[in-house]
Amino acid sequence: MKIRKAKVDDAIQCLECVKNSQLWDAYFKDEPTAEKIEEEIRKNGVTVSVDDQDKCIGFMGINETGCFGKFPYLEILCVHENYRNKGIGKELLRHFENLGFEKEDRVFLLCSDFNEKGRKFYKENGYIECGNISDLYKKGIAEYFFVKYKDEN
């Protein structure tokens, strides 16, 4: 597995990573998603995890100052269904943290209320749940707000 900046050609494969997920069902199935992913790739905000054939098997969207106009914010992290529970999400998360902690002493993310596995994953990786916001992106879905502080040891 290798992690690299996404190319516009990766957009369709990124989209395939989201399909067959709760995230897809809640947010993406009714949207022109490939175009949105391409736009984010052009802004340099997408990182992909690729296999030995350079095929995207996971991706994340990072906004370097997306939380309060200062702190790194993980916009999305998704792994293709055939590669879930193999450590790819954890590697992507570590990559986000390494980038974020180079600039700031904390990083942030949101996780939807229906994503119990995701909330457990983030807590197991040192994130602290610090509240939730009802109906933030879509009516009927709350987003849990998480922060992780840089380990100064």
Q: Quick: pLDDT tens for 17-59.
A: 998 899 888 988 877 577 888 888 988 789 999 999 999 999 9
Tell me the longest C-alpha to C-alpha distance in the chain: 45
Residue extents of the structural domains in the chain = 2-149
Q: What is the pTM for the complete model shown? A: 0.93
Q: How far apart are CA 64 and CA 45, in angstroms?
A: 8
151 DSSP assignment: P
What is the tens place of the pLDDT at every residue in 92-140? 999 999 999 999 999 999 999 999 999 999 999 999 999 999 999 999 9
Which residue do the tokens 């516009």 mark?
Answer: 8
CATH superfamily of 2-149: Gcn5-related N-acetyltransferase (GNAT) (3.40.630.30)
